[in-house]
Chain A
Amino acid sequence: MSAVSDVTRMTAAQIAGLISSGEASAVEVTTAHLDRITAVDERVHAFLHVDREGALAAAAAVDIRRGKGEELGPLAGVPIAVKDVVTTKGVPTTAASKILEGWKPPYDATIVSRLREAGMVMLGKTNMDEFAMGSSTEYSAYGPTNNPWDLGRIPGGSGGGSAASLAAYEAPLAIGTDTGGSIRQPGAVTGTVGAKPTYGGTSRYGLIAFSSSLDTPGPCARTVEDTALLHAVIAGHDPRDSTSIPQPVPDVVAAARLGATGDLTGVKLGVVKEFAGEGAEPGVMAAFHESVEALVKLGAEIVEISCPHFEYALPAYYLIAPSEASSNLARFDGVRYGVRVGDDGNRSLEEVMSLTRDSGFGPEVKRRIILGTYALSSGYYDAYYGQAQKVRTLITRDFTKAFDQVDVLISPTTPFVAFPFGSRTSDPYQMYLADLYTIPTNLYGGPAISVPCGLSEGLPVGFQIMAPTMADDRMYRVAAALESAVGTFTPPEL
C-alpha cells in the first residue's frame, strides 16, 4: 500500500502510470481520493455532489478491463471532478442554482462521454457561481467554496470548486468552463493550472448555456502536462455542437513535453502593454516580471505589444454575455425541468413562471438577466449590444495584429490575489474587475492558459499565456517552460 498512501499528492500522469503498471488499482486510487474528500471537504466545500457509488463502479470496470489485458487510454482509472454546469446522466446537476435543485439530466455532455470512454472516474460535481456568473463562488446558491490556501478567502470563480478540489488534493484533474475567465482566474488564485481551449475546440453540447458565443469547457490540473493530457481527452470535433471546429486538435501533450525541456529559443512573447501595470496589485506585477525574466533566461524574446481596444473588453463583455444569458436562461420556466413555485391551481402560467424564476435565481443571475434584457431592448440595442459587437471585432483585430509579430501574448491572469469573502459582493462591478485580463481572449475566441508563477503575501499569482485560434499547443509549450523554471506551489496543510 505504500505506493498508494500518498496517491492524492501525485500528478495524473503518475497515477496513470501506477495503474497501468499494476502497482495500484483504479479502485484503490479512487478510494484514496474519496477518503480525502471525506476528510477535508467539510472545510473546503469544493463539491456539491460526491458520486461515491458511481466512481467506485467506474473504477472497478477499469480494473476488470485492465485485468483482461484490454488497451486503455492514457488516463484510464484516473479520478476527475466535474463542474456542476456540465450535464451528467443520472447524477444531480444544478449549475449551483436553486432552480435546478435535484435535477438529474437524462444525458451526458459530450466532454463527459469522452471522459467515460477514456476510462476516467468521475468523483462528483464541483461548486461554482450560479450559472457560472461570478468570480468568487460567493454566488453559489449552496454556499461558497473556501480557498485551500486560506479558508477565509475566495477560490475564484466561477469554477472555484474545480480549482479548489485540485489545490485540496481531492482530485488530480477537473473540468471547468470559461466564458470570461472562469477556468483561468480560479486557477490563478488557487495556485493550479487552468486552460481555456480555442472556442469551438471543445464541445459545448451538454453545457448549461450561459453565453453561447463565449462558453468554452476546458481542463484544470496541478501541472501543465496533466492539463494537456486532459485537454487531449476532451477536445475535438463534435457533430452535436454546430460551432465545433472540424479540424484536428493540435498536439498539446507533445507541446507541453517540449516546453518542459526548458528551451524557448526563438519563441517571441508579447507583453500586453495595457495590462502591465495599472489596476494590478504590486505583488502580482512583481511575480509577473520575475517570470518574464525567467522566460528570457530560457531563450524567449520579449516584445512589448499594444492592444488599444483591450481596455474596452470588460464593458463589451458585460453587454454581450448578459444579453446572451437573458435569452439562454429563458428556458428555466418551471415547465420542463427544475422546480416550480406558486402553482396553487389558480395562478396563471405567467404568474407561476415569474414566481418560479424570482425564487429560483440568485441576485447576480437576476442582475444579468435584467442587464441583458436592457441591452437588447429597442432604443438601446445599437448603443449597447450593437456597439459591443463592433468592439469585439476591434479586439479580434488587436489579437490578429499582435500575432503577426509574436507567437503568444502574456499578462498576469488576474489583477489581484484571492480576496477575503464579502469584500467585493456589495459592488458587482468590483467583482467584474477580477476578469479584466482574461476577458479579451473570450471575445476573440483564442486559447489561453493560467499557470502559477509565484506568491504574493503568501498567496498564489497566475501567469496568463494567450495564443492564436487553434494554436493551443503554443501556450502549453510556454506554460510548461515557465513551470520548469518556477516550479509548482503547495498550499499549507489543511
Chain B
Amino acid sequence: MAAISREEVAHLAHLSRLAVTEDELDMFAGQLDVILQSVARIGDVAADDIPPTSHSVPLTNVYRDDVVTPSLTQEEVLAGAPDVAESRFRVPRILSEEE
C-alpha cells in the first residue's frame, strides 16, 4: 500500500504554498512514497519511555546585555526586495475583490 497518495501530496503542496504542476505531482507522489516507506522503519525502535532531543546543545534562556549596536538602515533592508513603495515592502493584494 502506498504510504502517501497523490491527493495528499497536492494538499501538502498547497499548505507549503507551492503551486506544483500536474507533472510534478505525479513525480513527487511516487518519490515521496519511496522515501516514506524507507524512513517508516523508524517506528521499529522501542522508544516510548525515551525523551525527545530537539537540539544537541543544552542551552536554555541565553541572555546578553541589552547594548545598542549598529543595525542596518532602512535603505539596506529594502535593497534586496522585489518590490518597494514608500519605504516599505510592497505586496500583492491580500483581500479578494468582494472583501
Chain A: interface secondary structure?
helix
Q: How far is the CA of A242 from the CA of B8 in the complex (A)?
A: 36
The segment from A50-58, A270-278, A388-396 that touches chain B is: A388-396
In the complex, how many angstroms separate the beta carbon of B53 from the nearest chain A beta carbon?
4
Give min CB distance, A401 to chain B, whole Å: 14
CB < 8 Å: which of A199, A337, A367, A371 contacts B80?
A337
The answer to the question of A113 belonging to the interface, with a C-beta cut-off of 8 Å to chain B, is no
Select which of B45, B55, B83 is within 8 A of A387 by beta carbon: B45
Contact with A along B31-61 (1 / 0, CB 8 A): 1101110111111110100111111110100
* Partner of A388 from B4, B42, B94, B96 at Cβ < 8 Å: B42
Please state if B47 and A326 are interface contacts (CB–CB under 8 Å): no
* Residues B94 and A370 in contact, CB atoms below 8 Å apart: no
Contacts of B52 in A (CB 8 A): 386, 389-390, 392-393
Q: Which residues of A contact B89 (CB under 8 A)?
A: 335-336
Within the complex, the shortest CB–CB distance from B65 to chain A, in Å, comes to 9
Query: Within A187-245, which residues are at the interface with B (CB < 8 Å)?
Result: 199-200, 213, 239, 242-243, 245
Is A366 an interface position by the 8 A CB rule? Answer: yes
B38 A315 Cβ-Cβ under 8 A: yes
**Are the C-beta atoms of B56 and A107 separated by less than 8 Å?**
no
Assess whether A348 is in contact with B79, with CB atoms less than 8 Å apart.
no
A316 interfacial by beta-carbon distance below 8 Å: yes
Contact indicator A337/B81 (Cβ below 8 Å): yes
Question: If A347-B92, A348-B93, A370-B18 touch, does A390 touch B80 (CB 8 Å cutoff)?
Answer: no
* Complex interface: chain B residues within 8 A of A432 (CB): 35
Q: How far is the CA of A443 from the CA of B24 in the complex (A)?
A: 31
How many A-B pairs have beta carbons closer than 8 Å: the answer is 178
Chain B residues contacting A370 (CB-CB under 8 Å) are 9, 12-13, 16, 18, 28, 32
Q: Which of A152-160, A357-365, A415-423, A471-479 contacts B (4 or more CB under 8 A)?
A: A357-365
Decide if B57 touches A245 in the complex (CB within 8 Å). yes
Closest to A388 in B: B42
Q: Contact at B79–A104, with CB atoms within 8 Å?
A: yes
Q: Are B56 and A469 in contact (CB under 8 A)?
A: yes
- Rounded to whole angstroms, the CA-CA distance of A353 and B89 in the bound complex is 14
Q: How far is the CA of A411 from the CA of B3 in the complex (A)?
A: 33
A312-B42, A336-B89, A349-B91 known; A367+B32 contact, CB < 8 A: yes
Contact A427–B34 (Cβ < 8 Å):
yes
**B86 on interface, CB distance cutoff 8 Å:** no
Q: How far is the CB of B11 from chain A (nearest CB, A)?
A: 9
Interface residues of B (CB under 8 A from A): 4, 8-9, 12-21, 24, 27-28, 31-32, 34-36, 38-45, 47, 50-57, 59, 62, 64, 72, 76-77, 79-83, 89, 91-94, 96
- Chain A interface residues (CB < 8 Å from chain B): 103-107, 199-200, 213, 239, 242-243, 245, 309, 312, 314-316, 318-319, 326, 330, 333-340, 343, 345, 347-355, 357-358, 361, 363, 366-367, 369-371, 373-374, 377, 383-384, 386-394, 396, 427-429, 432, 443-446, 469
- Could you list 21 A-B pairs, sorted by A, with CB under 8 Å? A103-B80, A104-B80, A106-B77, A242-B62, A243-B55, A245-B57, A312-B41, A333-B17, A335-B91, A347-B92, A350-B17, A355-B19, A358-B21, A366-B16, A371-B32, A373-B15, A387-B42, A387-B45, A390-B50, A391-B45, A394-B50
Q: Which are the 8 A-B pairs with shortest beta-carbon distances?
A: A445-B56, A389-B52, A340-B82, A390-B47, A354-B19, A315-B39, A337-B80, A358-B19
